[in-house]
Chains A and B, each alone.
Chain A
Amino acid sequence: MPLVEFRDVSYEVGGRQILSDVNFTVEAGETLVLLGRSGSGKTTALKMTNGMLFPTRGEVRVEGKSTREWDPIRLKRRIGYVIQEVGLFPHFTVERNVGLVPTLDGRSADDVAQRVQRLLDEMGLPAAEFRGRYPRQLSGGQRQRVGVARALAADPPLLLFDEPFGALDPVTRVELQRQFLDLRRNLQKTSIFVTHDVREALRLGTRIGLLTRGRLEVSADPQEFRNAKTEEALAFLGSLD
């Protein structure tokens, strides 16, 4: 059973068609990168996966169950979400930010503190130094690492990334991409990753889904994607050199 399945998903808001008949599945262990320009519907697709939005036609199934049948709070806590730039709570320390979901789930303070420590250390942010800081006292790259640690804190089987590295300088971006690959190797997580950067898509994806004006135009592994001949795929590949 695929972890995530989009079945003929369409989404329309205010007479505007954001997604049209999108079909794909994500198997355990995969990283599906949704690639597309701004406004192509990729973030909308992401938000449908954890029930922040619901399809106007078709359905999204997570672990075999339609997102409409899931308890909305349970579904969101079962899926880690990394948001572009400012998703951290500015008035929470790093420790409280990272420990948020396990705390909401009623885990003991000791258990949460241990997880936070382990995750921060894994993300290369020594807990002793960073746990008491506020997000504004961190660099962009550090904030994003905290965001990833927060998404991992409840040990969810699925992670969603919404252009998480978009606002970082190129060096930090490559560092974080490398860390993402390490994490995948070590933790065997499944992810859906949204980006408009074809280089990032090729580097991180086990599969790439190209969205053009709400349609899934190409769905291929990185090798096949390099040879894709659709107009939009060529436009993206052309930006490589």
Chain B
Amino acid sequence: MRPDLVNDLLQLTGEHLVLVLSAMAMAMLIGVPLGIVLTRRAQLQRWLLGFASVMQTIPSLALFGFLIPIPFIGGIGKRTVIIALVMYALLPILRNTFVGIASVDAAVCESAVAMGMTSGQMLRQVQLPLAAPTILAGIRVATVTTIGTATIAAAIGGGGLGVFIFRGVASVDSAQILAGAVPAALMALAADGGLGWVERKLSRA
């Protein structure tokens, strides 16, 4: 392997990880609480789930383009990329949190009420634990997608493994394209496998 590639590889993989991890952390911090709110505010469901679905239909390159001119959140660089990635990751997390909690057996919830649990106790001790495998499945899907989508970050100066891919495409250099694509694919596989394992652990408990 070419020495210049090895150096770049380490740096860009690191950047890629940072993009994915920050976007996922934000998406979870927003998506899970919002999903919980949805189970209690039925009139919000259509709006929020609709908004999140629409976000997913916008081609990622176009979404990056739309974000650039927006003040504060836009511009060239990592911040814009992370915001776009969060918007993509939101739907699966939001939807699975909502569905996971809404599909907890009604008899179990009723029994929690009858035992004198407060709604906070019911959420923490009953609904969230029982919905955990579903919520985690949403996080897993979102993570795998985000790892792929983050390669487009390079188009607006966000760095990451996409830099290799864009460079390789521009100079018709398959080695560079592979240097970007293969680590991204491995990262996605590792995330899928790791989170899948946690998910199985949770659903068995």
- Do A and B come together as binding partners? yes
Q: Count the A-B residue pairs with Cβ separation under 8 angstroms: how many?
A: 53
Chain B residues whose CB sits within 8 angstroms of the CB of A81 once the complex forms: 111, 114-115
A-to-B contact residues, CB < 8 Å: 50, 52, 73-77, 81, 83, 85-91, 100-101, 104, 150
Q: How far is the CB of B109 from chain A (nearest CB, A)?
A: 10
B-to-A contact residues, CB < 8 Å: 105, 107-108, 110-118, 121, 125-126, 129-130, 205
Which of B108, B116, B125 contacts A73, CB < 8 Å?
B116
**Known contacts A90-B130, A91-B130; is A104 also within 8 Å of B117 by CB?**
yes
Q: How far is the CB of B120 from chain A (nearest CB, A)?
A: 11
**Known contacts A91-B129, A91-B205, A104-B121; is A86 also within 8 Å of B105 by CB?**
yes
Summarize B's interface: helix, strand, loop or mixed. helix
A76 to B110, CA, bound (A): 12
A87 to B115, CA, bound (A): 10
Chain B residues whose CB sits within 8 angstroms of the CB of A88 once the complex forms: 111
- The 7 A-B residue pairs with the shortest CB-CB distance, nearest first, are A76-B116, A77-B116, A87-B111, A81-B114, A86-B107, A73-B116, A91-B129
Chain A residues whose CB sits within 8 angstroms of the CB of B205 once the complex forms: 91
A73 to B112, CA, bound (A): 11
Which of A85, A90, A101 contacts B115, CB < 8 Å?
A101
**Known contacts A83-B107, A86-B108, A91-B205; is A104 also within 8 Å of B115 by CB?**
yes
Q: How far is the CB of A126 from chain B (nearest CB, A)?
A: 24
Chain A residues whose CB sits within 8 angstroms of the CB of B116 once the complex forms: 73-77, 101, 104
A83 to B107, CA, bound (A): 9
Residue of A nearest to B117 (CB): A104
A104 to B124, CA, bound (A): 13
Q: Is the Cβ of B130 less than 8 Å from the Cβ of A100? A: no
Chain A residues whose CB sits within 8 angstroms of the CB of B111 once the complex forms: 81, 83, 86-89
Q: Is the Cβ of B126 less than 8 Å from the Cβ of A89? A: yes
Chain B residues whose CB sits within 8 angstroms of the CB of A77 once the complex forms: 115-116
A1 to B93, CA, bound (A): 54
